[in-house]
Amino acid sequence: MIRAALVDRVIQPADLLAEVATPRSGATALFIGTVRETNDGRAVTAIDYASYVAMAEGELERIAREAGEKFGVDFLVVEHRVGMLQLMETSVAIAASHAHRGPAMDCTRWVIEEIKTRVPIWKREHYADGSRDWVDPAPRSEKVAP
Amino acid sequence: MATVAVQLFASYADLLGQSRMTVSVPDRATVRDLLTSVRSLPRGGGIPETALVAVNRRFANASDPIAASDELALIPPVAGG
């Protein structure tokens, strides 16, 4: 069972874990992306996630299918949220289960990296000083990921 | 000349002040021609020559042909996650 979706509701990671639970699996990996309170030294209060919905849904589904084939993972669920998110809210969750830990963990890592380069989703950060800006991933990609 | 409709998102929509526009392109136009036309509009120069373009919801190459019936979109650098 492989599923990927763009959602405009709260993501419940426990639901994703339940979806990939199977007696065949000895390992389950879960990646959760959340809204962080600072970016490039600026105090962030919220992030508005915008998307080219029709394309993003297709690209998410392609990534999930490719990940399944690449890592031999049959149980994978990906959800990415759009809309206004507050600090600590989950923007993306990826759950994968497999007989062994390696493919499950590698799969979730690969999926989030592909999402960041291929899926038409954009973040408009809202800052504590009242301003807001679209996030440009270029300068950030040169820094060490947290 | 032909007229095509283009969707704009995020920073590109803000730059041009609209989320959908029509532009004139040469007959048998390519993605590169589309970018040239958009960049010639007021404030269009803010869109990079190498901007990503989606044709029918898939990323396209600069030399790919476009048609009036295609779903076209200019894609700012993506920042999901």
Write out pLDDT tens, residues B19-28: 999 999 999 9
Q: How confident is the model at residue A146 (pLDDT cuts 50, 70, 90)?
A: very low
Domain boundaries, given as residue ranges, for chain A: 2-134
From chain A, pick out residues whose CB is under 8 angstroms from the CB of B79: 116, 121-123, 134-137
Tell me, yes or no, whether B33 lies in a domain: yes
Instruction: Judge: A137–B79 Cβ closer than 8 Å, yes or no.
Output: yes
pLDDT, residue A138, reads 78
Q: What is the ipTM of this complex?
A: 0.94
Q: Angle at the Cα of B27 (from B39 to B59), degrees rounded to 5?
A: 55
Q: How many domains does chain B have?
A: 1
The residue of chain B nearest to residue A57, with distances taken between CA atoms, is B57
**Tokens, residue A24:** 């065949």
CATH class, domain A2-134, is alpha beta
Range of the domain at B20: 2-75
Cβ-contact B2, B37 below 8 angstroms: no
The phi, psi pair for A142, rounded to 5°, reads -85, -5
Tell me, yes or no, whether B34 lies in a domain: yes
**Low pLDDT (below 50) residues in chain B:** none
The phi, psi pair for A117, rounded to 5°, reads -110, -20
* CB nearest B57 (choices: A58, A91, A122): A58
Q: Count other C-beta atoms under 10 Å from residue B27's C-beta.
A: 7
* CB nearest A52 (choices: B14, B75, B77): B75
Q: How confident is the model at residue A58 (pLDDT cuts 50, 70, 90)?
A: very high
From chain B, pick out residues whose CB is under 8 angstroms from the CB of A56: 80
Q: Is the pLDDT of residue A91 over 70?
A: yes
Centroid of chain to Cα A58: 15
Over residues A59-88, the mean pLDDT reads 98
